């Protein structure tokens, strides 16, 4: 009951904070950048990440108390980015990498086995293992920031992972009460609704905090207990990670800077297709695109949880994902640039 009351009070505070920021024109989504114009020109407060951060502290403080200071610095970095204080992509990447390495080092967050012989040989070295964990989290965090381009997409994705945490009792391996994941999932669901109706956006703060937290938990559970295949972790996090890696390769191929934003991510192409093909408003194309991607991932996750310890099974699902992603991407990319606009 105490937690329910705390959640209700915090949402009242959240509501007043949103109104205050809109009135003062602080911490708003739209800044005029080209990559923001593809779905609309709406000013929405970037407060979702702030609410998520304090919710994590409230429900999971015991789990992250060993890295609470560095975790808070990560939150501050996201907030500084949303406030346009830290506007250099190279500087952000450097700070992200440094913070992640120290978090990985201080919490001894190492991936001990990938079931790939050559890679396992390399990460048998402690220092290389730390760098590998840092690299994985770095790809996840920036990929999550990429997919946070449609209403509800990133929030919905991690809400699906929360449901899997509960269904497979994964949270029990971290000595965290199951009702905490239920309460936290309820918060994500409410924020998802607010996000879909464009009342609050996550911003870089939300992408950094939420993706790091789930990446941290999944690596920690696997490294300490190895109750599932490492490729099950990859399957759960495949979409933001592959979105990031694919974007880097795509931009290199087009001789563009990999850290410069554009409008050619998969979710943006789906939005463009729905809007042009079916002549629907921005918000409907936005939300429908997000729900299509989430529905697809729900189906994939449903297959994945059937045999979480079978590496070959998980690899087959991953290969299928990558094939479908590439096929859909190139189809939509061709559709977009064959149009005369």
Provide the angle, in degrees to the nearest 10, between the axes of the packed helices 153-167 and 126-147. 130
Q: Which backbone phi and psi does 328 adopt, to 5 degrees?
A: -70, -40
330 by Cβ neighbours in 10 Å (0-12 / 13-18 / 19+) ranks as exposed
* Residue 281, domain extent: 2-338
Task: For residue 169, name the pLDDT band (cuts at 50, 70, 90).
Answer: confident
Across 154-178, average pLDDT: 86
Map tokens 């939509």 to a residue.
Answer: 332
SS (H, E, C) 63-79: HHHHHHHHHHHHHHHHH
Taking the CA atoms of the chain, what radius of gyration do you get in angstroms?
Answer: 20
Looking at the chain, the whole-number percentage of residues with pLDDT higher than 90 is: 53
Q: What is the pLDDT of residues 38-89, one digit of tens each?
A: 555 567 899 999 999 998 888 777 767 777 887 888 899 999 999 888 878 8
pTM equals 0.92
Predicted pLDDT of residue 37? 54
Cα 311 to Cα 22, 168, 303, 314, 321, distances in angstroms: 49, 17, 13, 5, 15
pLDDT over 50 at 171, yes or no: yes
Across 280-291, average pLDDT: 92
User: Both tokens of residue 333?
Assistant: 């990319």
Q: What is the pLDDT of residues 146-155, one digit of tens each?
A: 999 899 999 9
Distance (Å, rounded) from C-alpha 153 to C-alpha 149?
A: 7
Q: What is the pLDDT of residues 2-24, one digit of tens each?
A: 777 777 888 888 888 888 888 87
Give me the chain's average pLDDT, please. 88
Across 256-280, average pLDDT: 88
Predicted pLDDT of residue 40? 55
Predicted pLDDT of residue 20? 85
User: Both tokens of residue 76?
Assistant: 């501050």
Our CA angle for 55, 46, 243, nearest 5°, is 90
The domain tally of the chain equals 1
Map tokens 């994902």 to a residue.
Answer: 321
pLDDT over 60 at 295, yes or no: yes
């Amino acid at each position: 009951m105490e937690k329910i009351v705390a959640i209700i009070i915090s949402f009242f505070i959240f509501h007043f904070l949103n109104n205050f920021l809109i009135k003062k024109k602080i911490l708003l989504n739209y800044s005029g950048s080209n990559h923001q114009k593809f779905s609309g020109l709406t000013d929405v407060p970037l407060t979702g990440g702030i609410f998520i951060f304090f919710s994590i502290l409230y429900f999971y403080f015991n789990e992250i108390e060993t890295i609470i200071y560095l975790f808070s610095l990560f939150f501050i970095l996201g907030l500084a980015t949303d406030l346009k204080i830290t506007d250099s992509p190279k500087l952000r990447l450097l700070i992200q990498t440094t913070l992640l390495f120290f978090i990985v080092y201080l919490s001894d967050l190492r991936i001990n086995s990938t079931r790939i012989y050559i890679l396992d040989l390399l990460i048998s070295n402690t220092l290389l293992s730390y760098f590998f964990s840092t690299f994985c989290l770095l790809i996840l965090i920036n990929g999550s920031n990429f997919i946070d381009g449609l209403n509800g997409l990133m929030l919905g994705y991690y809400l699906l992972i929360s449901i899997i945490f509960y269904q497979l009792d994964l949270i029990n391996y971290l000595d965290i009460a199951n009702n905490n994941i239920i309460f936290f999932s309820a918060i994500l669901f409410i924020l998802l609704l607010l996000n879909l109706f464009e009342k609050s956006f996550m911003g870089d703060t939300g992408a950094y905090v939420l993706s790091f937290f789930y990446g941290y938990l999944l690596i920690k559970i696997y490294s300490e207990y190895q109750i599932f295949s490492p490729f099950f972790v990859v399957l759960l996090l495949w979409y933001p990670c592959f979105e990031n890696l694919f974007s880097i390769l795509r931009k290199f191929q087009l001789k563009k800077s990999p850290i410069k934003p554009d409008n050619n991510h998969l979710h943006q192409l789906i939005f463009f297709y729905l809007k042009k093909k079916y002549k629907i408003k921005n918000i409907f194309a936005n939300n429908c695109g997000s729900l299509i991607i989430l529905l697809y991932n729900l189906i994939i996750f449903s297959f994945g949880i059937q045999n979480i310890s079978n590496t070959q099974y998980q690899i087959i699902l991953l290969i299928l994902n990558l094939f479908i992603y590439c096929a859909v991407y190139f189809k939509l990319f061709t559709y977009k640039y064959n149009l005369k606009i």
